[in-house]
Amino acid sequence: MMAFKQFLTEATALNRGKFKMHPDRFQSFIKKIKKGEAFELLNGKKAFIDASILDTLIDDNPDSIPKNIQTDQGLLALGKFKKTSEFGGQGATKIAAAEWEKIICVAYNMLAHDVSKKDAIKLAQIDLWKSAYDGSIDVGLEIVRNSKLALSSTMIHFGSGSSQLTKEWNQYFIDLTGKSAPGPTKTPKTDMYIKNREKLSLKKVGGSQLMSGGQAESMATLAFAYDALPNKEKTKTVQKIFNVLITNVEEDFIKIKGDKTITQIKRDIKSGATDEITKLVAHQIEKNHQMTRDLGSLFNTTSFKATIIKEAMTGDNKFSDNLSASTHVMVFSEKGASSIHKINDKLVNSYVKKTKMDISFKSAGASSWVSMKGVVSEAANLIDDLLNESINETEAEMINEGILDSIKGGMKAVRRFVSMMFKKFWNKLVVAVTQSMDTLMGVFSVQPTISMTNEVKFPL
């Protein structure tokens, strides 16, 4: 009986042996962590794996998965995670965000080349196509149509795996950690690309990770951002703040394990407890506050923050091959909505305003560790963004129609402009609200706090 029960568990749970037999599934496991997506557990709950695991994972060696995995549900063995469809599980209908990459590629090629699904799969260079994807092709077609992408080429799935880092980026890891960057750090930013055109990073509407990684990745990113600063911004004050910050990140990103959660320890601090663990946490909280202030000083006085966000979105300086660095963000929903955003200074600056970062404790059960976290309020800027989009689109349409030239300065032009603009604005607002509860809360000034590492919510 025990042997049969164990067989059933192994058939429905993740395990290292299956990852060895199917390397693509292990890559999906790594990519899911990097994107900050929830894993299903055998007990019916969901868990987020902490990105610090990426410092220890080796992308071609499933044995590098630790015995106990840090999650927001506490320490969990790999066997506690459910083998869903993306990992070869049977009967699951939920399509993971990373799997939508393949569906969208096939849908694009079907429309662009007027070919069958089978031929579109070949054009996209997809090795593994699951029957579970077939039911989502119609949604994929709708996503492509709504994206307004020109149907004049072929979309290829870039897949997961590793890309070659630049010597300069890898040197940051060597200088800071004494060893080369681990495999998971080499995951490309590009998820799919159109030949000789857009290199797309796919994001699901409502929330996707902009940047992930443990201590080493954070240190490398900070070091790169500092080196990229214009010389005029590298004042003695800025240099001093950065040197202190990078040293503190290296020395003070501690981990604590015990019988109490960080919340319980904070209560002990307020009640005046003086045991060793309480004093340690109290001291570390002060350090976290100081590191956050230092980080804020760099953000407020330099282009440091914009550099970090742009690099996290594109990977321009991180990867040595051209395809791995993305040029556009494609945002989609499982209902068929989608949009394309070119990664330029305008887009980067919009996320500079929306992203607040701090350094503080993060917990999973009785285990706590220090991490750099992003606190994002996407909805706070929703009205301004939609209004600006509507104004720009209306202006362009009226110019194309010659309306502004024929009745320039007249009240008819003003009325027409206002009418068209508000109609566009209303339609955009309705779509945004129906796509995400986060957006709905934001419209009514309820701002959720996101504690995923450097997480940014992507709007349509």
Give the residue-averaged pLDDT of 119-148: 93
For residue 342, pLDDT over 90 is answered with yes
220 closest CA partner among 320, 283, 311, 132: 311
Q: Is residue 377 classed as helix, strand or coil in its secondary structure?
A: coil
Across-strand partners of 46?
Answer: 40
DSSP state of 107: H
Q: Is residue 60 classed as helix, strand or coil in its secondary structure?
A: coil
Q: Is residue 202 classed as helix, strand or coil in its secondary structure?
A: strand
Element (H, E) at 18: helix 16-21
At 403 the pLDDT is 53
Give the residue-averaged pLDDT of 337-341: 92
Give the residue-averaged pLDDT of 48-64: 83
Q: Is residue 335 classed as helix, strand or coil in its secondary structure?
A: coil
Instruction: Round to whole Å and give the CA distance between 360 and 372.
Output: 7
Give the residue-averaged pLDDT of 150-170: 88
Instruction: Round to whole Å and give the CA distance between 33 and 342.
Output: 25
Q: Is residue 318 classed as helix, strand or coil in its secondary structure?
A: coil
Give the residue-averaged pLDDT of 8-31: 80
Region of poorest pLDDT, from 183-187, 233-237, 320-324: 183-187
Instruction: Round to whole Å and give the CA distance between 307 and 329.
Output: 17
Total length of the chain: 460
At 109 the pLDDT is 97
Which position has the higher pLDDT, 450 or 401? 401
Identity at 47, one-letter amino acid code? A
Region of poorest pLDDT, from 22-31, 179-188, 423-432: 423-432
At 252 the pLDDT is 80
At 93 the pLDDT is 55
Q: Where are the beta strands (DSSP E) in 62-102?
A: 69-71, 74-76
At 142 the pLDDT is 95
Which position has the higher pLDDT, 44 or 109? 109
Instruction: Round to whole Å and give the CA distance between 272 and 268.
Output: 6
The model's pLDDT over 196-230, given as tens digits with 9 standing for 90+, comes to 999 999 988 765 556 655 677 778 888 898 999 99
At 438 the pLDDT is 40
Give the residue-averaged pLDDT of 375-385: 50
Q: Where are the beta strands (DSSP E) in 4-130?
A: 39-40, 46-47, 69-71, 74-76
Whole-number mean pLDDT of the chain? Answer: 79
Instruction: Round to whole Å and give the CA distance between 417 and 314.
Output: 36
Give the residue-averaged pLDDT of 8-28: 79
At 452 the pLDDT is 32
Which position has the higher pLDDT, 411 or 6? 411
The model's pLDDT over 40-51, given as tens digits with 9 standing for 90+, comes to 898 888 888 887
Give the residue-averaged pLDDT of 410-433: 70
Band of the pLDDT at 446, cuts 50, 70, 90?
A: very low
Region of poorest pLDDT, from 33-37, 52-56, 428-432: 428-432
Cβ atoms of 398 and 405 within 8 Å: the answer is no
CA of residue 172 relative to chain centroid, distance: 22
Element (H, E) at 338: strand 338-342
Instruction: Round to whole Å and give the CA distance between 164 and 321.
Output: 7
CA of residue 356 relative to chain centroid, distance: 15
Which position has the higher pLDDT, 396 or 88? 88
At 382 the pLDDT is 54
For residue 441, pLDDT over 50 is answered with no
Give the residue-averaged pLDDT of 279-297: 87
| Strand pairing category for 367-376 and 455-456 | unpaired
CB < 8 Å & 24+ apart, contacts of 262-271: 262/361, 262/363, 262/368, 263/363
Task: Enumerate the H helices of 272-358 as residue ranges.
Answer: 276-301, 304-314, 345-354
For residue 360, pLDDT over 80 is answered with no
Cβ atoms of 328 and 316 within 8 Å: the answer is no
Give the residue-averaged pLDDT of 312-324: 91
Residues sharing a CB contact under 8 Å with residue 87, sequence separation 6 or more, in sequence order = 14, 18, 25, 28, 29
